């Protein structure tokens, strides 16, 4: 696999406007590490997912949907239990409101036994997130073990802190981040609130210096519509989107960036070249609805960046 990811995927139900006013919901699926994987797969990466799926009425929907995206399911473990579900209210100017039902879900029970050392060692990149760390203690331990396994095998590790204070405390999120950051090659935080909370008000340049000192090779601070700040090989660049889109839904925009960026890294591009693909992928994604449904395809991204490797 070019890229594998470890985490959860939930059933997604989204509506137009406020929950109070909604009469219908559109069904899909999503989860930060899975969103990243699908974004990369649509650009041409070979991709695999490590997770647990509960054997409920949504199990076939999830697995068939992932398979249709070309995701390798050999490390998806189908177990007794249920799958998490989340509802999204799509408000004006692309703003969103979320309600989650996930405690005790199958994916939250991820454990070290779900990992195959051979599978991890055969990948180019492995990606996970702070949400994976936050959904349970066993999932957090599994994420750290996966990164240690990957590092020992020479596999690139990628981490997005994706702070969610509905899932964890700020103190625990900081501790989890400090535990996994020394085993991380690619660090993908978001500015400003997430980065400011996790790093106690540190500036983007300060975060890049801090992470670099811990051995992280590529740091990309995502700044929404303002683009991103990339630190790599002793150089820092601020990069902005170069084309306009009408923002419809920002759900999963950071995950879309991650997928585009990791696709570029998996193809041997520099962090700055990869960030350009990430910016294009994220910008095209926010023009449509849903975390997965609006992720662009390879030909869409080629139209705005030129040829892809």
pLDDT in tens, 98-123: 899 999 999 999 999 999 999 999 99
Confidence grade of residue 248 (pLDDT, cut at 50, 70, 90): confident
Residue with the two structure tokens 């239990």: 81
Whether 160 is a known active-site residue: answer: no
Q: What is the pLDDT of residues 116-174, one digit of tens each?
A: 999 999 999 999 999 999 999 999 999 999 999 999 999 999 999 999 998 999 999 99
User: Given this model, what pLDDT does residue 111 score?
Assistant: 98
Q: If DSSP codes are grouped into helix, strand and coil, which group holds residue 166?
A: coil
Distance of CA 111 to the CA centre of its chain: 19
Q: How many domains does the chain have?
A: 1
Cβ-contact 160, 143 below 8 angstroms: no
Confidence grade of residue 291 (pLDDT, cut at 50, 70, 90): confident
Q: Residue 110: which CATH number?
A: 3.40.1190.20
Question: Considering the entire predicted model, what is its pTM?
Answer: 0.95
Q: What is the mean pLDDT of residues 33-57?
A: 98
Backbone Cα Rg of the chain: 18
Helices assigned H by DSSP within the chain: 32-43, 59-68, 117-121, 130-134, 137-152, 170-180, 193-198, 204-213, 253-266, 271-285, 298-305
pLDDT at 94 over 80: no
For residue 15, the enclosing domain spans 3-305
Angstrom distances, CA of residue 55 to CA of 6, 12, 87, 112, 269:
19, 17, 21, 20, 40
Of these residues, 72, 244, 255, 307, which one is catalytic? 255
Q: What is the mean pLDDT of residues 277-282?
A: 98
């Amino acid at each position: 696999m070019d890229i594998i990811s470890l985490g959860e995927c939930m059933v997604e139900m989204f509506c137009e406007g406020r929950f109070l006013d909604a009469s219908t919901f559109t069904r899909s699926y999503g989860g930060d590490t899975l969103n990243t994987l699908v974004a990369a797969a649509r650009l041409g990466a070979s991709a695999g997912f490590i997770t647990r799926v509960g054997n409920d009425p949504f199990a076939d929907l999830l697995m068939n949907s992932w398979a249709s995206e070309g995701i390798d399911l050999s490390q998806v473990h189908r177990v007794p239990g249920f799958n998490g579900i989340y509802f999204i209210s799509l408000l004006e100017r692309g703003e969103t409101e979320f309600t989650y039902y996930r405690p005790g879900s199958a994916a939250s029970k991820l454990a070290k036994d779900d990992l195959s050392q051979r599978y991890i060692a055969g990948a180019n990149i492995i990606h996970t997130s702070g949400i994976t760390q936050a959904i349970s203690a066993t999932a957090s331990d599994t994420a750290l073990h996966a990164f240690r396994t990957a590092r020992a095998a020479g596999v690139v590790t990628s981490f997005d802190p994706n702070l969610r204070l509905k899932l964890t405390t700020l103190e625990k999120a900081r501790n989890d981040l400090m535990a996994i950051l020394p085993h991380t090659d690619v660090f993908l935080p978001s500015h400003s609130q997430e980065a400011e909370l996790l790093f106690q008000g540190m500036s983007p340049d300060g975060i890049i210096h801090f992470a670099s000192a811990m051995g992280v090779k590529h740091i990309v601070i995502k700044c929404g519509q303002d683009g991103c700040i990339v630190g790599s090989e002793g150089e820092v660049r601020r990069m902005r989107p170069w084309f306009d889109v009408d923002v419809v839904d920002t759900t999963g925009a950071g995950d879309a960036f991650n997928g585009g960026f990791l696709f570029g890294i998996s193809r041997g591009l520099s962090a700055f070249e990869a960030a350009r693909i990430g910016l294009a992928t994220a910008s095209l994604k926010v023009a449509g609805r849903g975390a997965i449904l609006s992720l662009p395809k390879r030909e869409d991204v080629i139209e705005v960046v030129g040829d892809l490797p």
